[in-house]
Structure 1
Amino acid sequence: MIEMDARSLPYRELNRLIREAVNAGEDRIRLRNVCGQRYIGAGLRRPVHIEISGVPGNDLGVFMDGPTIIVHNNAQDGVGNTMNDGLIVINGDAGDVVGYGMRGGCLFIRGDVGYRVGIHMKAYKDQVPVIVVGGTAGDFFGEYMAGGIMVLLGAYGRARRALAGDYLGTGMHGGVIYLRGRPDPDRLGKEVRAFDLDAGDAGLLQPLLDRFAAYFGTEPLDVAREPFIKLIPVSHRPYGRLYAT
């Protein structure tokens, strides 16, 4: 275990120190007094465990491929941007465009998230990205989603607002969104429909709920007792009519 005090460190210097430690073989790094430094964990490809006290800046875990990052506070925009593999756990809220272009790995966020979370998420064969949010989300949740799994619980956030904002699932053409509650149909994008869960959904969702509870010390939610529904796309080419065939 190596410990770093990030107080007053520019983001470039902090990230240089992290990369040097990882390249030297460190497998556990603890960062203290983080305050807005960007790109922490960017492009790391080793199974290092990074624990952060403070609020990391934008693009936490961008292009990450294997590490685990635990944040004991909130996080800013772009968490898990184009993440390929690994785990990020946020013990608070996160900002906008969380999971942008995410291709694999898991994000667990205890609180609320901002706008355009999960935009352009995608999956390939057995590489399926996952985002689980304990609170609520802003507009465009799951926008242009092409694959993966998103879960929105609306159970642990602090924002006094609806489960999700407007344009939920707009442009979605792959993957699945699980919601703990049935949204107003007027908030849904034209490309998705809401359906009840089947046995396969329950088998997929319950382990994610159990993991959420384990990470954050909450009581596990029971799929069978909660009002979960799923959103799936009604077309795999929602904008095909706009282009030449």
Structure 2
Amino acid sequence: MVTKRKQKTLTAGRTYYKQFNEEIRACIEDGVNHFILKDCNGQRYIGTALEGDIKFDIYGVPGQDLAAFMRGPYIRIHNNAQDGVGNTMDGGRIVIEGLAGDVIGYAMRGGDIFIQGDVGYRVGIHMKAYLDHQPKIVVGGKAGDFLGEYMAGGIILLLGMFSDKPDAPVAGRSLGTGMHGGVIYVRGEVPEYQLGPGLQAQPVDSDDLEIIKELVEDYAKELKLDSKEIMDESFVKIRPFSHRPYGNLYVAC
């Protein structure tokens, strides 16, 4: 079933974020389900807690906590994004055609976040799967420190291809520190010293490759990239060695 779209163009400019979000919500109550947001200039909380089949095309740079607690909408950012994208997101899809900041997908429980370029620190921290919800983050560039920290579920795919930091490692320090669920896939190799305590990068198997291929094809389609070029390299996976990585730090009473 094709959803009939009622389109609305809004210009953010210097509008205060609270006023701008109130305007968006008023339009939704009036039946608008496709927004073109122009000249975004750091306005926070766009798309926060929205549900249902709503589409956003965002031009400019939206502010922090975009799509926090979101459940369903589709958001495409035709530029870069700030910190906290997809904070505790339950469902939907976010496509970022540029770079993104820190703590992307914090405690994310469902949906997809596709980023073409680099990301900052602590991306995917506390990600978790819930029932049949499997959150997914794909990063086309490189990542900062603590990627997948305390990860409890879901998939992070780090490609390291579309980066403006050619001399940097694919990820920063302490990749996967404290993770106790989910999986991180990395295109190419990961230096062992970049990994969190007790973690190892292992070769992927045929089941992993099927998961990666499906995710890459989806990602490449969204960003008009060559999926075959992305797949033309080996991948490794990082999984938790224990569901209680710090269990030995505590003494039973």
TM-score between the two structures when normalised by the length of structure 2: 0.94
- How far did 1:243 drift? 2.9
Residue identity opposite 1:119 in structure 2: I
Where 1:215 maps in the other structure, the secondary structure is helix
Per-residue CA deviation, residues 147-197 of structure 1 (Å, 9 max, x unaligned), is: 000000011121231100010100010000000011110111114221111
CA RMSD of aligned residues (A): 1.2
Report what 1:144 is aligned to. 150
Q: Distance in 2 between matches of 1:178 and 1:221?
A: 17
Q: Distance in 2 between matches of 1:15 and 1:59?
A: 13
Q: Distance in 1 between matches of 2:231 and 2:163?
A: 22
Q: Unaligned 5+ residue runs, structure 2?
A: 1-6
| Partner residue of 2:124 out of 110, 118, 128 | 118
Report what 1:202 is aligned to. 209
The size of the alignment, in residue pairs, is 245
In the alignment, does 2:38 pair up with 1:38? no
Q: Distance in 2 between matches of 1:17 and 1:218?
A: 35
Q: Please tell me whether the aligned partners of residues 171 and 191 of structure 1 are also in contact (alpha carbons under 8 angstroms).
A: no
Q: Distance in 2 between matches of 1:13 and 1:224?
A: 44
Q: Distance in 2 between matches of 1:50 and 1:219?
A: 25
The change in CA–CA distance for 1:128 and 1:174 in structure 2 (over 3 A counts) is: same
Q: Please tell me whether the aligned partners of residues 213 and 231 of structure 2 are also in contact (alpha carbons under 8 angstroms).
A: no
- How far did 1:227 drift? 1.6
Per-residue CA deviation, residues 100-136 of structure 1 (Å, 9 max, x unaligned), is: 0000000000000000000000002210100000000
In the alignment, does 2:146 pair up with 1:163? no
| Partner residue of 2:197 out of 183, 186, 190 | 190
- How far did 1:240 drift? 1.3
- How far did 1:224 drift? 6.0
Q: Unaligned 5+ residue runs, structure 1?
A: none
Where 1:177 maps in the other structure, the secondary structure is strand
Q: Please tell me whether the aligned partners of residues 106 and 125 of structure 2 are also in contact (alpha carbons under 8 angstroms).
A: yes
| Partner residue of 1:130 out of 91, 112, 136 | 136
Where 1:192 maps in the other structure, the secondary structure is coil
Q: Please tell me whether the aligned partners of residues 202 and 223 of structure 1 are also in contact (alpha carbons under 8 angstroms).
A: no
Please show how residues 1-245 of structure 1 align to structure 2 within 5 Å: 1-160=7-166, 161-221=168-228, 225-245=232-252
Q: Percent identity?
A: 51
Q: Distance in 2 between matches of 1:55 and 1:223?
A: 27
Q: Distance in 1 between matches of 2:154 and 2:189?
A: 20
Residue identity opposite 2:8 in structure 1: I
The change in CA–CA distance for 1:11 and 1:223 in structure 2 (over 3 A counts) is: closer
